Chains A and B, each alone.
Chain A
Amino acid sequence: MWILNFLTSSLGKKLIMSLTGLFLIIFLLVHLIGNLQLLFGDNGEAFNVYAKFMTTNPLIKTTSYGLYFFILLHIVQGIVIWLTNKSAKQSRYAVAPKNTSWASSNMATLGIIITVFLAIHLWQFWFKMKIGAIPPVNIGGEEYTNLYAVVHEAYQNIFFVIFYVVSMVVIGLHLSHGFQSAFQSLGLNHKKYTPLIKGMGIAYSILIPLGFAIIPVWMYMMH
């Protein structure tokens, strides 16, 4: 089958990494915009309303299944590429060459750390919500899951705050290569526009993780 041959070729695998990566990049932005509501200082009302919307709206729900799938695909494919690449290289040089950015040659390591982060992150908030382990809260006469309370409680723990901030640095590094790399894999490289894409990539990889990192720090300091 041509499509299987294509997707399992080295270029096809990259294409998958690139497309799923770009999807996750967009997801990060949406996720951040939603989460910034944690900082409204309204005891989490806006955030809880938003959380309910995100978990009940059929369109969002459908998209979220796509998201789970893409995250998994990105991880699995990443590991497959990492393993084949390791076996293609076989052995390393005695003197480490300095011809790449650190992030670009350590994408797999960064990716694994992010996966671990993701597991903890999901377990802490998403999973608890899914199994209904979070107490409800009444906002304007309607009942909402008080996700805000869980988040608020978590960010009173300095270790969690540090863990989140460090994880964001890791995501930033992953993005710093991944953003522009996704475009290169799609064949979008142009003398005039590639510098622009690279610039955007750097900006994105700083601003988005910074935005996420501010939340726990802010909530920790405000308590």
Chain B
Amino acid sequence: MKLTLKVWRQKSKDHKGSFENHQVEADDHMSFLEMMDVLNERLISNKAEPVAFSHDCREGICGTCNMVINGKPHGPSKGTTVCQLHMREFKDGDVIVIEPWRAAAFPVIKDLVVDRSSFDRIIQAGGYISVNTGQAQDANAIPIEKDTAAQAMDAATCIGCGACVAACPNASAMLFTSAKVNHLALLPQGQVESSRRVRAMVKQMDEEGFGACSNTGACEVECPKEISITNIAAMNRMYMGAVIGAQDQV
């Protein structure tokens, strides 16, 4: 199939970006990123600068890849990262618009590559259980209800790709933050410090310059791991309880 790509090119954070048009020949079996590889190989053979894009595992789990394809983070397929998106989802003659994640808290590094270190800082603020190596008791000492463990697992599948932020008209990081808050709060091990955790993580999230959630639900639609916005509601609840109930003045 013959495709027309409109790819976002931007030299660095401080440069202005713009779209660049390219024609590409693809086939059904190719993944979207392999199609990008083909484009880049051609650019290189013409001694031109290849399009910079993030990618690593190419099996949908590392969360590195990030492209907005025709307005949709990770492209048209539901529950799929760009690296798992295949060209059979497109047809001959399609025009494909490829853009980076757009959010103030994710500045563009180059072309389609953005800086998502804000996510790391949110986790550093409290996305952990404070246990040192060696302090743990036997793994079966605390039974956890199967459904509860499964719910925690569903929240924990977040790959930290940032599609939720990219999809959100407000660039809010609520789905990402709440998934981690909820994953840990659901487990008895994480329950202990959940009040402190939710306050610290929300504070960091706000400081990073993400927008406020207006419950549009776009994040849930675009999340490649299909994480539910019930996590956001749970975090809202937890946050209120934590702030109102806490003994300290923060």
What residues of chain A have their CB less than 8 Å away from a CB belonging to chain B?
1-2, 5-6, 9-15, 81, 84-85, 87-101, 104-105, 107, 177, 180-181, 184-191, 194
CB distance from B137 to the nearest CB of A (A): 32
CB distance from B235 to the nearest CB of A (A): 8
Partner-contacting stretch, out of B28-36, B48-56, B210-218: B210-218
Closest to A107 in B: B214
Q: Which of A85, A87, A97, A180 contacts B218 (CB 8 A)?
A: A97
CB contact under 8 A between A88 and B240, given known A184-B215, A185-B215, A189-B229: no
Beta-carbon contact of B97 and A94 below 8 Å: yes
Beta-carbon contact of B216 and A95 below 8 Å: no
In the bound assembly, the distance between CA atoms of A84 and B169 in angstroms comes to 12
Residues of B within 8 A of A96 (CB): 71
In the bound assembly, the distance between CA atoms of A126 and B233 in angstroms comes to 38
Can you list 15 A-B pairs, Cβ within 8 angstroms, ordered by A?
A6-B244, A9-B206, A9-B239, A10-B174, A13-B212, A85-B211, A89-B168, A98-B71, A99-B217, A99-B221, A100-B218, A104-B216, A105-B218, A186-B236, A186-B240
Interface on chain A toward B: helix, strand, loop, or mixed SS? helix
Closest to A104 in B: B216
B172 within 8 A of A: yes
What residues of chain B have their CB less than 8 Å away from a CB belonging to chain A?
6, 19, 68, 70-73, 97, 99, 102-105, 167-172, 174, 202-203, 205-206, 209-218, 221-222, 229-230, 232-240, 243-244, 246, 248-250
In the bound assembly, the distance between CA atoms of A105 and B170 in angstroms comes to 9
Residues of B within 8 A of A85 (CB): 169-172, 211-212, 214
Closest to B205 in A: A10
Closest 7 CB pairs of A and B: A187-B237, A189-B233, A88-B211, A95-B71, A85-B170, A97-B71, A85-B211
Beta-carbon contact of A95 and B170 below 8 Å: no
What 10 new A-B contacts, CB under 8 Å, besides A88-B103, A89-B169? A2-B246, A6-B243, A10-B212, A11-B236, A85-B212, A89-B168, A90-B102, A94-B99, A97-B167, A100-B169
In the bound assembly, the distance between CA atoms of A15 and B234 in angstroms comes to 13
Q: Which of A10, A91, A187 contacts B238 (CB 8 A)?
A: A187
Q: Which of B171, B212, B217, B243 contacts A104 (CB 8 A)?
A: B217
Residues of A within 8 A of B70 (CB): 95
Beta-carbon contact of B215 and A181 below 8 Å: yes
Residues of A within 8 A of B99 (CB): 93-94
CB distance from A123 to the nearest CB of B (A): 29
Residues of B within 8 A of A188 (CB): 233, 237
In the bound assembly, the distance between CA atoms of A41 and B168 in angstroms comes to 50
CB distance from A88 to the nearest CB of B (A): 3
Beta-carbon contact of B202 and A94 below 8 Å: no
